[in-house]
């Protein structure tokens, strides 16, 4: 797995923005904290609405059906292409130039006008080329779907491609607002995207109903309607941002003349970031390729009329849904902690205070490991019910099958989060090459697993095997990254004194996690009939199990003297006390 969520048009900015940091750290701490709160709230609301949207879409396309694979492939296509080609260029290379342009006499009006004209032109050309290449691109990004599933994916893909252009405008407008220290709209715009998607799904169900899992029943109006509220959501968030862009008072208009935009000054770090994004996307493709056997099995079952069995074969739709769940702790906890630590690490790196870099990295990695280990065991123990709630059209049998896919991904959560931090340390040193090298074993693990999964693994378990291979890749990426970081620090003459402490904390957290997982699995075994009696019951019972697992984890870690748990508890208590005061 990589750090990008293909279902999110803004996800590509994670590595790229860190690779080309702008002058936000200079803002007052209070303003930064206020902006962080606004951005975090937007992210949380957007994720909640994203689950609602995904649930409604699950009712329309039917979990694990041929149509669900076709819709996943078609929607993944423009987002994947954009993440690599468009997102990497704009974030890693051109965004710093936008920040510099705001300091000019016209506050960047001329520069941004020419840049936006170029972006619209290039994204339009890219969209046209990709529309022509949809049949090939579907096979490259999602494997051989075969038969009517492939035909529907291609038909949908043609109409989904305009999302590339809207994604380009979304990032341009959002980064322009960020450069003017207006952070909230960029994070809240996806909320509108999801609202449009939810309303569109409701209208679709009102007209054509649910359980449209047979590709043969899909008519041209149905295809156009589905594409309309997906592309319409992307267009709506651009329109939302444009309202705030106009309030900046810039005189923006179409303008030709592209000299002086900095296109010939592709920084070394920007190029390495682009290369890393390409390798990352290849790893995502490999995970999707590995589910081709499941797609074939579902197609055969559908043709034989055995539709009740298709839920046992998780495929592309499950991969997408699992990714939504996986990104909850990563997107809310990891990004928040690392973003808070990054300015200090960057300052120490700029001052050549390598011991300070190491201390801050080690402290942050230990703090990060506590909630990530807890999230791992809770999500694994409750994987089946979680997927049952997320994918509304699934039954308990399908939910259990989907749960194994989520469990496979969650095995890699701790190293995934830790790798996110390690990469930021290298970015603080303005090193984009090492994160690229770190990504190679991650992608190789997914690539190497494709053939054995297709040839040896029962298609029922293909998706779970693919996500487990991705988790192994995350572990390899982390190990290689830590080794390279220690080697870099030692090269400066700095003594490595934190390895033992970090290892001790990790062992203690593994013990706490194992006990918590045992408690959760035991309770699930006892209460599974009640859990799967209804979705409201699942929410209530699993919430209680999650609270108990958290208590077991916290008590064990406390008894084992995990200082980072006590530090996190102190921070929470201080914030609560301040709010009461």
Task: Provide mean pLDDT across the span 445-465.
Answer: 97
- State the pLDDT confidence band at 159, using cuts at 50, 70 and 90: very high
The pLDDT of residue 421: 94
Q: Please, are residues 145 and 138 in contact by the beta-carbon 8 Å criterion?
A: yes
**How many CB atoms are closer than 10 A to CB 311?**
24
Whether the model pTM is above 0.85: yes
pLDDT band (50, 70, 90) for residue 306: confident
The DSSP letter of residue 394 is -
pLDDT at 403: 97
DSSP string, 252-306: -------TTSSTT---HHHHHHHHHHHHHHHHHHHHHHTTHHHHHHHHHHHHTT-
Q: Tens digit of pLDDT for each residue in 372-403?
A: 999 999 999 999 999 999 998 889 999 999 99
Q: Is there a contact between 372 and 417 (Cβ–Cβ < 8 Å)?
A: yes
Q: Report the alpha-carbon distance of residue 24 to residue 29 in Å, rounded.
A: 10
Contact yes or no for 277/12 (Cβ under 8 A): yes
Q: What is the secondary structure of 465-533 as a DSSP string?
A: HHHHHHHHHHHHHHHHHHHHHHHHHHHTT----SHHHHHHHHHHHHHHHHHHHHHHHHHHHHHHHHHTT
464, 408 Cβ separation under 8 angstroms: yes
% the chain with pLDDT above 70: 87
* Tens-place pLDDT, residues 521-546: 999 999 999 999 999 999 999 999 99
Residue that wins the pLDDT comparison between 400 and 299: 400
Kindly state the average pLDDT of the residues 136-141: 92
Which pLDDT band, with edges at 50, 70 and 90, does 237 fall under? Answer: very high
Q: Which one has a higher pLDDT value, 134 or 37?
A: 134
Taking only the tens place, the pLDDT of each residue in 93-113 is 556 667 677 777 777 788 888
Mean pLDDT in residue range 164-186: 82
**pLDDT average, residue stretch 236-261:** 84
* Residue 24 confidence (pLDDT): 42
Average pLDDT over residues 467-474: 97
The residue ranking higher by pLDDT, 516 or 333, is 516
pLDDT for res 65 = 87
Instruction: Give dist(CA 430, CA 267) in Å, integer.
Output: 11
Residues 6+ apart with CB under 8 A from 32: 24, 25
Residues 6+ apart with CB under 8 A from 58: 68, 317, 321, 390, 391, 392, 393, 394
Q: Which tokens belong to 84? A: 């690599």
Q: What is the pLDDT of residue 100?
A: 72
Answer yes or no: is pLDDT of 449 > 90: yes
Pick 26 or 246 by higher pLDDT.
246
- The domain locations on the chain are 14-497
- Specify the pLDDT at position 36: 54
Task: Return d(Cα 213, Cα 193) in angstroms, integer.
Answer: 25
Question: Which ranges of 83-162 does DSSP label H, i.e. alpha helix?
Answer: 88-89, 95-101, 109-132, 134-142, 147-160
Residue 406 has pLDDT above 60, yes or no: yes
Q: What is the pLDDT confidence band of residue 489, given thresholds at 50, 70 and 90?
A: confident
Angle at 413 between CA 408 and CA 419, to 5 degrees: 130
Whole-angstrom Cα distance, residue 184 to residue 36? 9
For residues 337 and 332, give the distance between their C-alpha atoms in angstroms, rounded to a whole number: 9
408 CB-near residues (< 8 Å, 6+ apart): 463, 464, 465, 466, 467, 468, 470, 471
pLDDT digits (tens, 9 = 90+) for 252-287: 888 787 776 666 555 566 678 778 888 999 999 999
Taking only the tens place, the pLDDT of each residue in 19-64 is 444 444 444 445 544 555 566 677 788 889 999 999 999 999 988 8
pLDDT, tens only, 198-234: 999 999 999 999 877 888 889 999 999 999 999 999 9
- Using CA atoms, how far apart are residues 417 and 478, in angstroms rounded to an integer? 9
Q: For residue 9, what pLDDT is reported?
A: 39
Q: Percentages helix, strand, coil for the chain, rounded to the nearest 5?
A: 80, 0, 20
What is the pLDDT at residue 19? 46
Q: Average pLDDT in the 308-320 region?
A: 92
């Amino acid at each position: 797995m990589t750090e990008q969520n293909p279902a999110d048009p803004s996800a590509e900015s994670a590595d790229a923005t860190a690779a080309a940091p702008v002058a936000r750290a200079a803002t007052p701490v209070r303003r930064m904290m206020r902006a962080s709160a606004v951005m975090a709230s937007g992210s949380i609301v957007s994720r909640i609405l994203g689950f609602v949207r995904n649930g409604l879409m699950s009712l329309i396309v039917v979990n694990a059906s041929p149509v669900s694979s076709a819709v996943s492939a078609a929607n993944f296509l423009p987002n994947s292409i954009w993440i690599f080609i468009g997102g990497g260029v704009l974030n890693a290379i051109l965004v710093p130039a936008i920040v510099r342009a705001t300091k000019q006499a016209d506050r960047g009006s001329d520069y941004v006008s020419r840049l936006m004209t170029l972006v619209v032109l290039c994204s339009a050309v890219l969209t046209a080329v990709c529309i022509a290449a949809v049949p090939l691109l579907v096979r490259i990004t999602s494997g051989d779907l075969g038969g009517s599933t492939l035909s529907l994916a291609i038909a949908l893909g043609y109409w989904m491609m305009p999302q590339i252009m809207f994604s380009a405008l979304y990032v341009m407008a959002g980064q322009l607002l960020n450069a003017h220290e207006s952070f909230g709209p960029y994070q809240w715009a996806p909320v509108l995207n999801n609202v449009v998607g939810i309303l569109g799904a409701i209208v679709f169900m009102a007209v054509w109903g649910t359980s449209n899992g047979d590709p043969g029943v899909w008519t041209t109006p149905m295809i156009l309607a589905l594409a309309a509220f997906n592309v319409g959501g992307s267009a709506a968030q651009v329109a939302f941002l444009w309202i705030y862009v106009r309030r900046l008072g810039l005189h923006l208009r179409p303008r030709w003349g592209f000299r002086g935009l900095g296109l010939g000054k592709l920084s070394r770090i920007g190029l390495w970031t682009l290369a890393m994004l390409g390798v990352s996307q290849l790893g995502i493709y490999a995970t999707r390729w590995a589910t081709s056997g499941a797609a074939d099995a579902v197609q055969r079952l559908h043709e034989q009329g055995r539709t009740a069995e298709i839920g046992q074969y998780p495929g592309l739709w499950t991969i997408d849904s699992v990714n939504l769940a996986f990104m909850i702790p990563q997107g809310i906890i990891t990004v928040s902690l690392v973003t808070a630590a990054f300015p200090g690490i960057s300052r120490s790196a700029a001052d050549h205070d390598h011991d300070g870099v190491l201390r801050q990295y080690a402290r942050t990695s230990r703090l990060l490991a506590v909630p990530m280990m807890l999230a791992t065991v809770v999500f694994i123990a409750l994987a089946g019910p979680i997927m049952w709630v997320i994918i509304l059209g699934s039954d308990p049998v399908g939910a259990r099958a989907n749960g194994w896919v989520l469990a496979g991904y969650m095995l890699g959560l701790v190293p995934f989060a830790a790798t996110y931090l390690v990469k930021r340390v290298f970015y603080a040193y303005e090193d984009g090459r090492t994160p690229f090298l770190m990504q190679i074993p991650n992608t190789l693990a997914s690539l190497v697993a494709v053939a054995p999964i297709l040839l040896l693994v029962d298609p029922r378990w293909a998706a779970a095997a693919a996500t487990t291979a991705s988790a192994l890749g995350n572990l390899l990426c982390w190990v290689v990254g830590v080794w390279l970081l220690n080697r870099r620090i030692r090269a400066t003459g700095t003594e490595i004194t934190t390895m033992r402490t970090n290892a001790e904390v990790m062992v203690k957290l593994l013990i706490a996690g194992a006990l918590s997982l045992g408690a959760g699995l035991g309770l699930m075994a006892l209460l599974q009939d009640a859990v799967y009696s209804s979705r409201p019951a699942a929410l209530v019972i699993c919430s209680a199990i999650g609270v108990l697992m958290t208590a077991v984890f916290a008590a064990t870690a406390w008894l084992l003297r995990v200082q980072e748990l006590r530090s996190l508890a102190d921070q929470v208590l201080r914030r609560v006390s301040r709010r009461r005061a």
